[in-house]
Chain A
């Protein structure tokens, strides 16, 4: 295996309170190889966005990184000064925000926002930046790129704006792109196009991608590997195919059943996991999933299960599913 591009070890984030700090992320560890697409899934509030934001140090108080290391191609991001971090953002790690309606500056033209970003990170002249901006707008599939270049955000549709957001995230040619729910805010009809575009650009540029979503369908289409988050902890990670066909963690299996799918008779079925995920600071003792888990035993209620490595994949569960399928 090649050396990972991004190595996250024991990343912890807390919500600072005067009385006590509440854990938001609890010792999350994962790797992303160069050119790999890692999907991050989990219910709303699981800590997916926090993970992405913490990597580029964009947490806003009262949220704060309380521990762990983040290594990008050998450089410890967690030790950088704010000034050094600003050289990493955009240039080495691009970030795609969820809502294209609010992500663009309403009073600056698209061209200005693109060229400012490129000229910040790349040694290009004004006219070169302009050419590249237009070429990025073309590559993201925008019709009439020269017009879009001169346009203000309000003149574009939601889908077009998200294409601009993608161009902005990629224009300084980062090695890693963090895409936080890049399609959630869009019309269903546009979502598929946007995923295809991300897929194409990923293949063209060879960037690695961290794709945050709560939609397992998106994961199945896009991701090489998946990491599942539950209540701020990483509870399972595996290759996409293995995770989808043989989930080890009961929560992962529950998530999959909660995705609408046809049963044997061809009828669409959804089986939601009973109960709801604990909010921050409200995680129960032991395995955070135990109140909702059908396989829970005493030990589950007492000690949190470690993320146990099992043949290239890992799950934090004492009684994993598909045991028998393991080599």
Chain B
């Protein structure tokens, strides 16, 4: 198990290295740091000096190592657009995105899981049929359409929630949070629902399918034949079997969530990483794009690793013999 864990961690690091290299190539081949960092009237000598200082005369590999070295020491390069450090720009946007992801995860769990259970345990009830009907909308409507619809209804028509921004934020030693103010919560609700729409329907459908399948299985029949209560049968005996594939699939959906967060942040002008990415793409701000890619890749890989390493807690089949 320990060998397995270490192996998976090394594997993750390797993938991150490859992502970093791709991002580096992006910067090295598409960027024109001289044109941006020097005034147009700069002399040839000044250009030479900057080339030497930035190490642009070095071979690619040396420059990549230099790039990695810089990242490990918190130097993520300079934005072409704002001339600010990329690290600081990302750090400033990070809380908004994390809070949005967090609230949408809450929505997913507190809406998706109970409804999924209802649909799996009582597939023919009126509630289940209604939920399944509505969930078709969640699967088929593109993310931005959901966002625009919510804005049209709840912001424009009813005026309950704002249609853009984070509301009032509080600075907690570098972390600006919107979760401590009423207007912050009002502002986060619509984007969080938009971002969660796909996952909620996904969780409902996954859990339903899994529970229906497990419900037919021989071991559940045997559990019933031993007189276990329906509660025990569904919540301890069937749920454990159904949850595992659901979590796996949800983790594999993480790529979608990241993509959707860009769209959602765009629709709601949410000042997070996603809209930073959009702005950077519009102004060809290569260093920011590159670091964003590395960052997203790292988050994606780490969450996947975390999910995978936590399986054995849920499934005793994986607890032994996988060293």
Contacts and interface: CB of A to CB of B under 8 A. Distances in A.
Interface of A: 56, 58, 86-91, 94-95, 97, 99, 102-109, 113, 116-117, 120-121, 152, 154-155, 165, 168-169, 172
A107 B316 contact: yes
A152 B241 contact: no
B32 interface: no
Contact of A90 (B217, B220, B225, B315): B225
Given A104-B219, A107-B240, A152-B317, A117 B226 contact: yes
A117 B236 CA distance: 13
Nearest to A109: B316
B221 interface: yes
Contact of A105 (B223, B227, B230, B314): B223
B225 A97 contact: yes
B240 A97 contact: no
A103 B227 contact: no
Given A103-B218, A152-B316, A152-B317, A120 B226 contact: yes
Contacts of A155: 320
Nearest to B223: A105
B222 A90 contact: no
A108 B221 contact: no
Contact of B227 (A88, A107, A165): A88
B47 interface: no
B224 interface: yes
A169 B227 CA distance: 10
B300 interface: no
Contacts of A97: 218, 221-222, 225
Contacts of A86: 224, 227-230
Contacts of A91: 227
B237 A90 contact: no
Contact of B225 (A95, A106, A107): A95
A202 B228 CA distance: 24
Contacts of B316: 107-109, 152
Given A107-B315, A107-B317, A169 B217 contact: no
Nearest to A169: B226
A95 B222 contact: yes
A91 B217 CA distance: 22
A252 B297 CA distance: 71
A56 B317 contact: no
B225 A116 contact: no
A121 B219 contact: no
Interface in B232-251: 232, 236-237, 240-241, 244
A48 B214 CA distance: 25
A105 B237 contact: yes
Contacts of A56: 225
Interface of B: 217-230, 232, 236-237, 240-241, 244, 314-317, 319-320
Given A102-B218, A152-B317, A121 B241 contact: no
A95 B223 CA distance: 10
Contacts of A103: 218-219, 222
Instruction: List the 8 closest pairs (A to B, CB-CB), nearest first.
Output: A90-B227, A152-B316, A89-B227, A90-B226, A102-B218, A95-B225, A107-B240, A105-B219
Contacts of B221: 58, 97
A73 to B, nearest CB: 16
A109 B241 CA distance: 13
Contacts of A105: 219-220, 223, 237, 240-241
Which of the listed residues B218, B219, B237 has the most CB atoms from chain A within 10 Å of its own CB?
A: B219
B217 A117 contact: no
B54 to A, nearest CB: 56
Contacts of A87: 227
B269 to A, nearest CB: 45
A99 B222 CA distance: 11
A148 to B, nearest CB: 13
Nearest to A180: B225
B207 to A, nearest CB: 16
Nearest to B321: A155
Given A97-B221, A105-B240, A108-B316, 13 more contacts: A58-B224, A97-B218, A97-B225, A99-B218, A103-B219, A103-B222, A107-B316, A108-B236, A120-B227, A152-B316, A154-B317, A169-B226, A172-B227
A229 B141 CA distance: 57
Contacts of A152: 316-317, 319
A168 B317 contact: no
A65 B314 CA distance: 39
Contact of B232 (A88, A116, A168, A169): A116
26 contacts: A58-B221, A58-B224, A58-B225, A86-B230, A89-B224, A95-B226, A97-B225, A102-B218, A103-B219, A104-B222, A105-B223, A105-B237, A105-B240, A105-B241, A106-B241, A106-B315, A107-B244, A107-B315, A107-B317, A108-B316, A117-B228, A120-B227, A152-B316, A154-B317, A155-B320, A172-B227
Nearest to B217: A102
Contact of A120 (B219, B228, B241, B320): B228
Contacts of B220: 105
Given A86-B229, A116-B232, A120-B229, A106 B317 contact: yes
Contacts of A120: 226-229, 232
Given A152-B319, A155-B320, A165 B222 contact: yes
